Amino acid sequence: MNELTALLLGIVQGLTEFLPVSSSGHLELAKALTQADVLPEESLLFTIVLHAATALSTLVVFRKDIAVILTELLRFKPSPSLYFALYIVLSMVPAAFVGLFLEEVITALFDQNIVLVGAMLLLTGGLLFLADRAKASEKDIDAKSALGIGLMQAVAILPGISRSGATIATAVLLGIDKEKAARFSFLMVIPLIFGSMAKSILDAGSVQMEANIGLLIIGFVAAFVTGIVACKWMIALVKKAQLKYFSWYCFAVGTLALILA
């Protein structure tokens, strides 16, 4: 891997972590079309660094919200912020269960399955289209909606379903205010990202991970900067009800995938 590849991978990671186009689905399509791995077999450390960069970009964008949530958790006194934090914990349960107990089943699906990817992209497009047309609402997150959004986040592990798109769309369709839906969607994934990073490090065990510090820095900075831009952009798009453009894109790519299959 050279400097340009590290830069491109960082940009792709930063953008697709937040935009509702399914990075995993596009990767599987690219693998099938090129008959080769799009992402080179590089050090596990590089992947961990990119995920750390996007997690950090989320922390930067929502630093004030996170500070309030942590303060309320430490006080543990009934308040909207405390309940919001508890709802985030509740929303993590389904995805954590899938990640811990169904990892082999999920991994088997990531094998250039164009039909599955195409179908799931169409599903993502449908969810985004419906959410874009949903009426404005001022409803807050509650335990029931948090669990529903969490279940969709678990489903979004499938290649072709955008995590951010599916969770935001589900929240909006449940009547949650669009800005609150985007905020909850991005905050709820932070613990899962760090959990996934920790699991990757533990799974690596004593495997030696060679690292080119220069490439790590390039990838980290690219993912961090584009992650901040994409996160803020996505929040603005949700507030302006412009998810339909992403839904059309998902419809087009999903249909093309099914035709090629």
Tokens of 123: 């599903």
pLDDT score for 36: 43
pLDDT score for 38: 44
DSSP 136: P
Residue that is written with structure tokens 């960069």 in the block: 53
pLDDT score for 225: 95
pLDDT score for 40: 45
pTM: predicted TM-score of the whole model, two decimal places: 0.79
Residue that is written with structure tokens 């589900």 in the block: 170
Exposure string over 172-181, b if 16+ CB within 10 A, otherwise e: bbbebbbebb
CA 48 from chain centre, in angstroms, equals 15
The residue among 41 and 82 whose pLDDT is bigger is: 82
Q: Give the Cα separation of 148 and 166 in Å (integer).
A: 11
pLDDT score for 2: 75
Q: pLDDT tens-digit profile of 105-151?
A: 666 665 667 788 888 889 999 999 998 888 877 788 999 999 999 99
In one-letter notation, the amino acid at residue 53 is A
DSSP 176: B
Q: Give the Cα separation of 219 and 208 in Å (integer).
A: 20
pLDDT score for 87: 92
The residue among 93 and 159 whose pLDDT is bigger is: 93
Residue that is written with structure tokens 């990767």 in the block: 27
Reduced to 3 states, what is the DSSP secondary structure of residue 160? coil
Q: pLDDT tens-digit profile of 196-253?
A: 777 766 765 544 555 578 888 998 999 899 999 998 888 888 877 678 888 999 999 8
The residue among 34 and 97 whose pLDDT is bigger is: 97
Q: pLDDT tens-digit profile of 13-45?
A: 788 778 888 766 665 665 566 554 445 445 567
The ranges assigned to domains in the chain are 3-10+43-260
Q: Give the Cα separation of 202 and 17 in Å (integer).
A: 23
Closest CA to 234 of 8, 9, 21: 21
